Amino acid sequence: MKTNLKPKFVTDEKGNKTSVILNIKDYNNLLDYLDDLEDANDLLKAEQEASDFVPYEVFREKFLTGKTT
């Protein structure tokens, strides 16, 4: 993800950064990016843990005819 974030930092009386302020567009873009990463991670995990797949054509035929086995 290429970004041009321009965060503003809130600091305490000692100058330690305590918070970040982002404009709403950057914030929403970060949330979307994180959601995409979670989806990709879930897909990867599902692919690695899958024991068997049904080809799309077989699934479609069963679905359209109402057959479950």
In this predicted model, what pLDDT tens digit does every residue of 9-65 receive, in sequence order? 999 999 999 999 999 999 999 999 999 999 999 999 988 888 777 888 988 999 999
Is 1 contained in some domain?
no
What is the band of 67 on the pLDDT scale with cuts at 50, 70, 90? confident
Please report whether residue 2 resides in a domain: no
Residue 41 lies in a domain: yes
How many structural domains does the chain have? 1
Cα–Cα distance measured from residue 27 to residue 5, given in angstroms and rounded to the nearest whole number: 9
CA 59 – CA 51 distance, rounded (Å): 16
Placement of tokens 């950057």 in the chain: 26
CA angle at 29 for the pair 23 and 32, rounded to the nearest 5°: 145
Assigned domain for 36 exists: yes
* Residue 2 reports pLDDT greater than 70: no
What is the C-alpha separation between 53 and 24, in angstroms, rounded? 41
Residue whose pair of structure tokens reads 């305590």 in the numeric block: 18
- Quote the domain boundaries for residue 41: 8-65
Residue 3 lies in a domain: no
Q: Residue 55's pLDDT is what?
A: 83
Q: Quick check: pTM over 0.75?
A: no
